[in-house]
Structure 1
Amino acid sequence: MAASINPGDTAWILTSTALVLFMTIPALALFYGGLVQAKNLLSVLMQCTAIAAMVSVLWLLIGYTLAFTEGNAVIGGLSQVLLASLPRGAVRDGTGLPETVFFMFQMTFAIITPALIVGAWVERMRFAAVMLFSGLWLLLVYVPVTHWVWGGGWLGSLGVMDFAGGIVVHVTAGVSALVIAKMLGARKGFPDHVHPPHAPWMVMVGAAMLWVGWFGFNAGSALAANADAGMAMLVTHISAATASLVWMIIEITRYGKPSLVGFVTGTIAGLATITPASGFVGPMAALLIGIAAGIVCFFMVEVVKQRWRIDDALDVLAVHGVGGATGTLLVALLAGLPGGTGVSEGNSVLGQFGVQLLGVVVVGAYSAVLTFIIGKIAQAVTGLRVPPEAETEGLDYAEHGETGYNL
């Protein structure tokens, strides 16, 4: 019997698709935009928006088919180039969704992942390099890893548990951010004399939008309006709230005062860390994951900037990469707690942990190597870094001929 479209599931994933796109434009754009100097605000907004548009076209042309059609253990096939052979009413295998809706939902994940890396190069990377790097990175890093985990590839066949993108989204983006930040070099004055965020209120608004949008990210990954979606939404919220409070408590203990930017950075850490586990764990595990996220990500920010002295400007590795990896590993240990699903079929807790660790290490290493190669290509074709005078003037005017504030 041919699969049929489930109206309830379809309505929920249509909603989730809109929520996940909302996470990039405007949420991520505002979150990142508020963290930079005023003279670089528009450059961040432009980068996030332009990446969203470019990835949409590349996803249609070649990205989707290589990620999600039948191929081999490493990469998908070419049967859905341009969706030219897709009937209007086709149903995605294993779901009650039109394949067009599944295509769009996964497109929004493909959009936000390279956009996350923007945080590593703000205030100093050429716009042409941003576009070239992001396009190549989507096709050479994101698409293959997506196939490995979600598209029938080798990691999925091992039973890796990544409900909504701890490996696919956060590990790839976080590790890649560290590599490209190292290749670019630090901003002037780093690390002791970097300008503070020009608009903390904007950071909070962007973070709040991300928090709401993340329900589509995680609960939508159930691909149905069902109990898994409900639990994913619940644990996502609990982890975010817990990590926010933990980050605040650490700041009060160390500095005497809690900062708004710190609080909402904790929120994002909690959201990133619960992402791979969200469909597999219950509320008790969510609380533990939120605590781990607040502590581990807080101290990783200091490690990257102070010990490693790498100017990952907006903490993409520390928050997204380390958070995503932490949640990916913890899911093996916590999925057996009340409300959880347990580990994947055929795996013990220890065996599952090994699979999770393998996924994090291999994908992290692959992302690092390919990012270095893509960075070198962009450096040769467009140059990576703007001239010193453009950094001084600000990328808004130097790269786009506009200013964010006409005062």
Structure 2
Amino acid sequence: MSLPQSLVPTETSPEWLNKGDNAWQLMAATLVGVQSVPGLVILYGSIVKKKWAVNSAFMALYAFAAVFVCWCLWGFRMSFGDRLLPFVGRPDFATLEQKVLLEQGFAGLYPNATLVYFQFVFAAITLILIAGALLGRMNFKAWMLFVPLWLTFSYTIGAFSVWSPNGFLFKAGVMDFAGGFVIHLSSGVAGLTAAYWVGPRMPKDRERFPPNNIPLTLTGAGLLWMGWTGFNGGAPYAANLDTSMAIINTHLCTATSLLFWLFLDILFFGKPSVIGAVQGMITGLVCITPAAGLVQGWAAMIMGILSGSIPWFTMMVLHKKIEFLKRVDDTLAVFHTHAIAGTLGGILTGVFAEPRLNRLFFGDDPKYVGLAYALKMGRSSAGLRQMGLQLAGIAFIVGINVIITTIICLLIRLVVPLRLSDDELETGDDAIHGEDAYAVWGDGETYENSIHGGMAKVADEML
């Protein structure tokens, strides 16, 4: 039974707290978290060969846990705390102090605790997306080192520069509504860079890498799509008009992109591909992310057409013609679905961002205007300036991710190999974890001989 309002302690509801906004922000964060756990855990575990199902799913699960600990200890403050440099915050351990968690955050009408949770799920999914480029051959111990290092030295720089009120790209006026630059362009470029240094899968795995369970792949993809409601819907830091606009545009662009990718598959290959539809869904989600609450519905559909066709072309045509891309083994084509689609979304945001929606999100600042509207309003210089800023933001994110990801990979391989041994690559999950995804033919013998399965047997014998 709840207490009468007059008896509720006032310190639990300070004047600055908006309970509706706080509830929505916590829900939006949870939706984004569900995209990773279980969403991408399921998708990764089912879209790879059977022998890699456990390892692929576990890479995602590990990253989610490791990022949360690092985020609470120092990552949040480096991304959104006091400025150390124009592109990164000062690392400290103040995040978990009760006083800090309960005071009003830098954005929104709710406490820092809500912001820490909300921003964590974005950091986590970025690392998990990078894993998609490395499935099927990266040493799990190397991945355990890569996650905290990349979060600390790469993600925090992008987040602070573009999203923090103290970041230099934020102050300049770069528009990234919910992570087209910070999350998707970063993960796509970092994934391709890391894939270069880790090396390719076995030749026979590169030639033939069928999903072990397509219905489960669709399940993971569905969780990813619906979870994007919180991904873009949480960006305004409130449950307001712009939130509703962002959600509608997100699903409109995604559906259009999926359908257009499907149309191209049928037109050129004669068959509607399920995996192709999933790729089209992802490119639509990524493309609309930097623009979701800043563009009108018709613009979201145009973005969907382009995100269902340009990444399709780069993946299905250019990838087979460019020598460098042919050499680098990007397992799930993260470069195309995230880096290309994220870049496309960032550029189109600079074209289609509508003045009234910009005011809803950024406030009354005239510098935020899309090129199409700037030309119509006779403010061509402002529109060209915005396009220049969008391109500068893209260049910055690409540059830091290539450099920092390379340094991290080179440092890690001084400690442990980046790539699994040939014997481990041949066997897969059983060699790495002592576990198999499915007890179909072997009826579970692998698990019974694994660490935890064996320990259970020993315990039974001791009793």
TM-score normalized with structure 2 length: 0.84
1:185 deviation in Å?
Answer: 2.1
Aligned to 1:238: 252
Q: Which residue number in structure 2 is paired with residue 36 of structure 1?
A: 48
Give, in angstroms, the shift of residue 43 of structure 1: 0.5
CA separation in 2, counterparts of 1:266 and 1:176?
21
Structure 2 Cα separation of the partners of residues 300 and 141 of structure 1: 26
Q: Does residue 1:116 correspond to 2:134, yes or no?
A: no
Q: Does 1:377 align with 2:411?
A: yes
The offset of 1:15, in angstroms, is: 0.5
Report the Cα distance in structure 1 between the residues aligned to 2:184 and 2:356, rounded to whole angstroms: 26
Equivalent in the alignment of 1:206: 220
User: In structure 2, what is the equivalent of residue 345 of structure 1?
Assistant: 366
**Quick check: 1:166–1:275 contact (8 Å CA) kept in 2?**
yes
Matched, 1:355 2:389: yes
Match of 2:75 among 63, 66, 72: 63
Measure the CA separation in 1 of the matches of 2:206 and 2:235.
Answer: 41
Cα deviations across residues 90-115 of structure 1 (Å, max 9, x unaligned)?
Answer: 11134111110111000101111011
Question: Hey, what does 1:17 align to over in structure 2?
Answer: 29
Structure 1 pair 341–281 and aligned structure 2 pair: CA distance change class (3 A): farther
Residues 304, 318 of structure 1: 8 Å contact kept: no
What residue identity is the alignment partner of 2:439?
A: N
Equivalent pair of 1:63/1:139 in contact (CA under 8 Å) = yes
Matched, 1:402 2:423: no
- The runs of 5 or more residues in structure 1 that have no matched partner are none
Q: Is 1:335–1:341's contact at 8 Å kept on the other side of the alignment?
A: no
Does the alignment pair 1:167 with 2:181? yes
Compared CA separation, residues 192 and 21, structure 1 to 2 (3 A): closer
The one-letter code sitting in structure 1 at the alignment partner of 2:386 is Q
Report whether the alignment pairs 1:260 with 2:295.
no
Alpha-carbon distance in structure 2 between the residues aligned to 1:193 and 1:105:
40
1:186 corresponds to: 200
CA distance in 1, matches of 2:15, 2:44: 42
Q: In structure 2, which of residues 58, 64, 74 is the aligned counterpart of residue 46 of structure 1?
A: 58
Alpha-carbon distance in 2 for matches of 1:350, 1:190 = 48
Asked if the contact 1:31/1:204 (under 8 Å) is kept, the reply is yes
> In structure 2, do the counterparts of structure 1 residues 184 and 5 end up closer, same or farther at CA, with 3 Å as the change threshold?
same
1:299-343 deviation per Cα after TM superposition (whole angstroms, max 9, x unaligned): 222333553202101011100111111101100101138966699
Counterpart amino acid of 1:314? L
Q: Structure 2 vs 1, CA of residues 209 and 139 (structure 1 numbering), >3 Å: closer, same or farther?
A: same
Quick check: 1:26 aligned with 2:61?
no
Matched, 1:223 2:230: no
> 1 or 2 for the larger relative contact order (CA 8 Å, sep ≥6)?
1
- 1:287 and 2:301 correspond: yes
Letter in 2 for 1:210: L
Task: Mark the structure with the bigger radius of gyration.
Answer: 2
Matches within 5 A, 1:66-105: 66-71=78-83, 72-78=85-91, 81-84=94-97, 86-87=99-100, 89-105=102-118
- CA contact 2:75–2:91 (8 Å) conserved in 1: no
Does the 8 Å CA contact 1:252/1:258 hold for their aligned counterparts? yes
Aligned mates of 2:357, 2:128 — CA distance in 1: 33
Cα deviation, 1:263-308, whole Å, max 9, x if unaligned, reads: 1110011001100111211111110111110111112223335532
Determine helix, strand or coil for the equivalent of 2:102: coil
**Bigger shift: 375-384 or 341-350?**
341-350
Where 1:223 maps in the other structure, the secondary structure is: coil
Of the structure 1 ranges 300-309 and 219-228, higher mean CA displacement relative to structure 2 is found in: 300-309
Q: Distance in 2 between matches of 1:381 and 1:192?
A: 27
1:304 has 2:304 as partner: no
**What are the Cα deviations for residues 112-134 of structure 1, in whole angstroms up to 9, with x where unaligned?**
10110111111101100111111
Offset of residue 202 of structure 1: 1.6
Report SS of the residue matched to 1:221. coil
* Residue identity matched to 1:8: G
What CA distance in whole angstroms lies between the structure 1 residues aligned with 2:353 and 2:308?
A: 20
Deviation at 1:79? 5.6
CA distance in structure 2 between the aligned counterparts of 1:116 and 1:131, rounded to whole angstroms? 15
Determine which of 3, 6, 9 is the counterpart of 2:18: 6
For 1:262 and 1:81, how far apart are their aligned partners in 2?
Answer: 45
Q: Give the Å deviation of 1:406.
A: 0.7
1:250 maps to a residue whose letter is L
1:86 deviation in Å? Answer: 3.0
Separation in structure 2 between the aligned mates of residue 159 and residue 368 of structure 1, nearest angstrom: 24
Greater alpha carbon shift after TM alignment, 35-44 vs 69-78: 69-78
Q: How many equivalent residue pairs?
A: 405
Shift of 1:192: 6.8
- Whether the 8 Å contact between 1:114 and 1:134 is mirrored in structure 2 is yes
Structure 1 outlier segments of 4+, above 4 Å: 337-344
Using the TM superposition, give the Cα deviation of residue 85 of structure 1 relative to its aligned residue in structure 2, in angstroms: 5.9
TM-score (norm 1): 0.95
Pairwise CA distance, 1:89: 3.1
Sequence identity (%): 35
Q: Equivalent of 1:133, from 146, 149, 159?
A: 146
